[in-house]
Amino acid sequence: MNHLSTGFSSIEQVQNQYFSPDSKMTKSTSTGESFQDILAGKVSGEEKGELKFSKHASMRLDDRNIDLSSEQSQRLEAGVMKANEKGIQDSLVLVDSLAFIVNVPSQTVVTAMDKEESLENVFTNIDGAVIA
């Protein structure tokens, strides 16, 4: 059937128009990154500077009235980056009188302790430590 007689395009015409081999699905976003790059970063966990706090860690900080300064937050993030460079999976990161247990691949603070709470000086289930 001819597309002129029915007013409809053939599947081949539409396929070539919208799915041409030359068109790539890598258009840039406003940040200059392609969707493919962003997706790869999300899948591999390489989100830049996005340290997350678990519900437990957030509750610990709230219960102890601990507010991290921007400088302390930056040092914590730098400590997590160092742990990642060394291949550490679960790290103790010390920032001033605060201790954080961080799951490095997911960039998630699992728990947070102040000086009083960490007096036992025993930390389990970690494979490395960073003093930031």
Highest mean pLDDT among 30-44, 58-72, 118-132: 58-72
Residue 57: what are its φ and ψ, rounded to 5°?
-65, -40
Position 14 confidence tier, pLDDT thresholds 50, 70, 90: low
Range of the domain at 29: 3-44
Domain check: are 20 and 83 in the same one?
no
What is the per-residue pLDDT for 65? 87
Q: To which residue do tokens 């990154």 refer?
A: 33
Report residue 109 as tokens: 């603070």
Residue 2: what are its φ and ψ, rounded to 5°?
-90, 135
Q: Residue 126 and residue 101: Cα distance in Å, rounded?
A: 8
Q: To which residue do tokens 């954080």 refer?
A: 100
Task: Identify the DSSP state of 129.
Answer: E
Highest mean pLDDT among 17-26, 75-84, 120-129: 75-84
pTM: 0.62
Q: Compute the average pLDDT of residues 101-113.
A: 94
Domain check: are 78 and 116 in the same one?
yes
Domain check: are 91 and 40 in the same one?
no
Domain check: are 67 and 117 in the same one?
yes
